[in-house]
Amino acid sequence: EAEVAQSPRYKITEKSQAVAFWCDPISGHATLYWYRQILGQGPELLVQFQDESVVDDSQLPKDRFSAERLKGVDSTLKIQPAELGDSAMYLCASSPGGAGDTEAFFGQGTRLTVV
Amino acid sequence: AQSVAQPEDQVNVAEGNPLTVKCTYSVSGNPYLFWYVQYPNRGLQFLLKYITGDNLVKGSYGFEAEFNKSQTSFHLKKPSALVSDSALYFCAVRDINAGNMLTFGGGTRLMVKP
């Protein structure tokens, strides 16, 4: 069964350092999402791609966060510099796109701890 | 803007009893609605969705949900709860006129006690 792959699963970094997360969506999925989930809360959308184009990044803190999906396949989310408040689970999801009636498929997430 | 509300932070139910997890939504157009479940330190797993047609939809693990357009609700239900159903549940919505943006509620923790 096809899955969304994310790495690393866990990351501990010191504040002010740079950190990057990688996501490989299900093959053929045009829409890719990055969500941030604080423990015990709902996922909050950071950025949404349609192929290689950003559809929505209104909630992405652009002074420190960046995201790219250069060839419209896999994607990287970067934080530089990391702050203590960035500690959270970062979830990647993908869906076929199109009419929007297909569910999004989630990866296992990357648990970030900033110390 | 689209939004989802899950009014209960936690729902407690005894094993074997029916359960309901509540969800209400707000969209400008017609909604696509989804339920997901999350176990500790894992990603979200899809349970079921409402797209069109019958207001009662059935999903994985015996769960079902009822779409009510007049009340803008999409409550998750199960006739007989299992201890293994204990997890975090999320309702999500897409406005079909707003591309593929997927917005989640804050989540409800379901605790099923033996």
> Taking Cα atoms as reference points, which of A72, A80, A67, A79 lies closest to residue A34?
A67
Strands B64-68 and B73-78: antiparallel
Output DSSP code: residue B56: E
Residue of A55, A103, A107 with shortest CB distance to B99: A55
Residue of A6, A101, A111 with shortest CB distance to B32: A101
To test the contact with chain A by mutation, choose from B39, B89, B102 the residue with the greatest count of A C-beta atoms within 10 A, namely B102
> pLDDT band at B100, cuts 50/70/90?
confident
Whether residue A45 contacts residue A97, with contact meaning beta carbons closer than 8 Å, is answered with: no
> pLDDT band at A102, cuts 50/70/90?
confident
Residue B11: what pLDDT?
98
Count CA atoms closer than 13 A to A42's CA, side-chain side.
24
Residue B41: what pLDDT?
79
Residue B29: what pLDDT?
85
* In the predicted structure, residue B36 carries a pLDDT above the cut 90: yes
Average pLDDT, whole number, for chain B? 94
* In the predicted structure, residue B98 carries a pLDDT above the cut 90: no
* In the predicted structure, residue B38 carries a pLDDT above the cut 80: yes
* In the predicted structure, residue A110 carries a pLDDT above the cut 80: yes
Residue B56: what pLDDT?
96
Residue B30: what pLDDT?
86
Q: What is the Cα–Cα distance from A16 to A35, expressed in whole angstroms?
A: 21
Residue B14: what pLDDT?
98
* pLDDT, tens only, A1-46: 789 999 999 999 999 999 999 999 999 999 999 999 998 899 999 9
Q: What is the Cα–Cα distance from B54 to A43, expressed in whole angstroms?
A: 28
- B104 interaction partners in chain A (CB closer than 8 Å): 35, 42-44
Residue B96: what pLDDT?
76
> Taking Cα atoms as reference points, which of B107, B114, B81 lies closest to residue B10?
B107
Q: Please name the helix (run of DSSP H) or strand (run of DSSP E) that holds residue B86, with its range, or none.
A: none
* pLDDT, tens only, A37-91: 998 899 999 999 999 999 999 999 999 999 999 888 999 999 999 999 999 999 9
Give the position of tokens 């009340």. Answer: B71
> Taking Cα atoms as reference points, which of B29, B15, B24 lies closest to residue B86?
B15
Q: What is the Cα–Cα distance from B94 to B23, expressed in whole angstroms?
A: 14
Give the position of tokens 């996501």. Answer: A23
Residue B65: what pLDDT?
98
Residue of A50, A55, A111 with shortest CB distance to B41: A111
Residue B108: what pLDDT?
98
CB–CB contact A108 B42 (8 Å) = yes
